[in-house]
Amino acid sequence: MSPRVLVLNGPNLGRLGSREPEVYGSTSYAGLVERCTALGRELGLEVEVRETNDEGEMIRWLHEAADGELPVVLNPGAFTHYSYGMRDAAAQRTAPLIEVHISNPHTREEFRHTSVVAAVATGTVAGFGLASYDLALRAIAERAPGTHRPLRAFPE
C-alpha cells in the first residue's frame, strides 16, 4: 500500500486559472489536482487533493492528518498570514508538513511577508508556480516510510 499524503489548499485556490493568472498561472484547479495525483503515482504516493475556503474545515483536515500520521502539503492561501487556529492545528503534526506557495510571498505586498505556519512546518517551498507542489511532494516521498528515493528537486 502506498503512503497517503494530503495536499490541502486554502481560500481562493479553487479559482486557479481564472484568478490573477499573471500571479498564479493559467492552469485550473483541476489541472493542479491531476498534476499532484500523477506525480504522486510516479513517486509511489497516494495523493488526495482538497480545497476549502473555510478555516474550520482546514483545521479539521489538519487534525485528521495528525491523528492519521499523514504527511501534508499545505498551501494555506490567505490563512498563512493570520490563522493562529490553523497554525496550532499544523503544530500538532505527526508527519512531515510542507508549506507551499505558488508565488513568492516575500516579493508581494508586505502583509504577505509573514507566515504563521512556517515555524511549525517541516519546510517551505515558494515562488516556483505549480512546481512548488512538485518539490514538496518529492520531499515527502524522500521521507516516506518504505520509500528510499534521493531528493532530486529537478529530475533528469
pLDDT per residue as tens digits for the range 53-108: 999 999 999 999 999 999 999 999 888 887 999 999 999 999 999 999 998 877 66
Q: Which of 29, 63, 84, 101 does the annotation list as catalytic? A: 101
Give the pLDDT confidence score for residue 112 in this predicted structure.
67
pLDDT band with cut points at 50, 70 and 90 for residue 28: confident
Residue 88 lies in a domain: yes
Residue 151 lies in a domain: no
Residue 154 lies in a domain: no
Residue 149 lies in a domain: no
Q: Is the dihedral of CA 153, 92, 48, 126 positive or negative?
A: negative
Residues 7-22, mean pLDDT to the nearest whole number:
79
Residues 107-124, mean pLDDT to the nearest whole number:
83
Those residues with Cβ within 8 angstroms of residue 143's Cβ, 6 or more apart along the chain or in another chain: 71, 96
Which structural domain range is residue 33 located in?
Answer: 4-143
Task: Enumerate the known binding-site residues for substrate.
Answer: 75, 81, 88, 102-103, 112
Look at residue 150 and give its three-state secondary structure.
coil
Residue 86 lies in a domain: yes
pLDDT band with cut points at 50, 70 and 90 for residue 128: very high
Residue 152 lies in a domain: no
Residues 29-48, mean pLDDT to the nearest whole number:
96
Give the pLDDT confidence score for residue 149 in this predicted structure.
45
Is a pLDDT exceeding 50 seen at residue 127?
yes
Residue 155 lies in a domain: no
Question: What total of structural domains would you count in the chain?
Answer: 1
Residue 44 lies in a domain: yes
Residue 63 known to be catalytic: no
Residue 24 known to be catalytic: yes
Do the beta carbons of residue 25 and residue 103 sit within 8 Å? no
Give the pLDDT confidence score for residue 150 in this predicted structure.
45
Q: How far is residue 100's CA from residue 25's CA, in Å, rounded to a whole number?
A: 15
Task: Enumerate the known binding-site residues.
Answer: 75, 81, 88, 102-103, 112
The per-residue pLDDT of the chain, averaged, comes to 87
CATH code at position 128 = 3.40.50.9100
Give the pLDDT confidence score for residue 156 in this predicted structure.
45
